[in-house]
Amino acid sequence: MKFRDKTILVTGASRGIGAALAKAFAAEGGLVIVNYRRSEAAAQAVVEACRAAGGQAVAIAADVTDPEAVAAMIARIAEEAGRLDAVVNNAFAPYVFDPDDRARFWETPWSAYQAQVDGALKATYTVCQAVLPLMRQRGRGSIVNMATDLVARPSIAYHDYTTAKAALIGFSRNLATELGPLGIRVNCVAPGLVYPTDASRGTREAVKDMLIAQTPLGRIATPEDVAGPVLFLASDWSGFVTGQTLHVDGGLVMS
């Protein structure tokens, strides 16, 4: 089991991709910190699923854009686990991928951009600042930040969301450069449309069919499809990989 005796923090892990990641880490023997903001019952259900998968899990509530809440979460992890081997920054501001009801650029206020920047970049910044002392103590660690293939191929112009994720990729590359000498790796995973998730429930079948037709592997990703690449980048198997963005979209961005 690749993550036996290791502690992994997954933010936004009460549902969707985050829940799938938590269960996958647990199935590999990890102690998973299931971070959530409000959905306590859903987070506890993920914890039970993690334990059923053969790992350990603890749910901790924290708004990852709030430095005090994040500091309290990391202090609890340090007290109860004494280490933090990997962090997956999966939480983001609520968003709905609905091409028909999306705001066009001329309809998008700066506040919408700011909300997405806070959800993607500020949250990741806040978590990385808080976890750095724990990782530096051991001289190793892996940070995986969840981006999107829309940065490379904006099939549909979700302006505020994609702009925030582009900033996250730039942040991650700078962080990889600076933390590399400390033994800490930073990478991004950039999925395409993932279904089912709360964000993709509004995506019409016609849009999914369009994307499927353009995707070499001929289908839409599931949350479980994202888990393997994230686990790879969080594990020692990718010990000489940093500063990279791994697209997990069935080949869409290359077509």
pLDDT, one tens digit per residue, over 61-103 is 999 999 999 999 999 999 999 999 999 999 988 888 888 888 9
The question of whether 36 is a catalytic residue gets the answer no
Instruction: Give mean pLDDT, residues 44-53.
Output: 97
- Residue 202 pLDDT greater than 80, yes or no: no
Choose among 167, 26, 154: nearest CA to 102: 154
pLDDT, one tens digit per residue, over 119-167 is 999 999 999 999 999 999 999 999 999 999 999 999 889 999 999 999 9
> How far apart (Å, rounded) are the C-alpha atoms in residues 189 and 252?
14
Q: Which helix (H) or strand (E) holds 61?
A: strand 56-61
Chain CA centroid to CA 125, Å: 13
Looking at per-residue pLDDT, the higher value among 107 and 206 belongs to 107
Residue 250: the pLDDT is: 95
Catalytic annotation, pick one of 36, 125, 158, 161: 161
Q: At what angle do helices 159-179 and 123-138 cross, to 10 degrees?
A: 20
Residue 255: the pLDDT is: 54
pLDDT, one tens digit per residue, over 214-252 is 999 999 999 999 999 999 999 999 999 999 999 999 999
Per-residue confidence band for 254, with pLDDT thresholds at 50, 70 and 90: confident
The answer for residues whose C-beta is within 8 angstroms of residue 189's C-beta and 6 or more apart is 144, 145, 146, 147, 226, 229, 230, 233, 245, 246, 248
Instruction: Give mean pLDDT, residues 32-51.
Output: 96
- Residue 199 pLDDT greater than 90, yes or no: no
- Residue 6 pLDDT greater than 60, yes or no: yes
**b/e map of 100-112 (b: 16 or more CB within 10 Å)?**
eebeeeeebeeeb
- Residue 200 pLDDT greater than 80, yes or no: no
DSSP assignment letter at 37: S
Q: What tokens were used for 212?
A: 């499927």
Residue 205: the pLDDT is: 85
Residue 204: the pLDDT is: 80
> How far apart (Å, rounded) are the C-alpha atoms in residues 172 and 152?
16
In three-state secondary structure terms, 102 is coil
All domains in the chain, ordered by first residue: 7-254 (3.40.50.720)
Residue 206: the pLDDT is: 85
- Residue 1 pLDDT greater than 70, yes or no: no
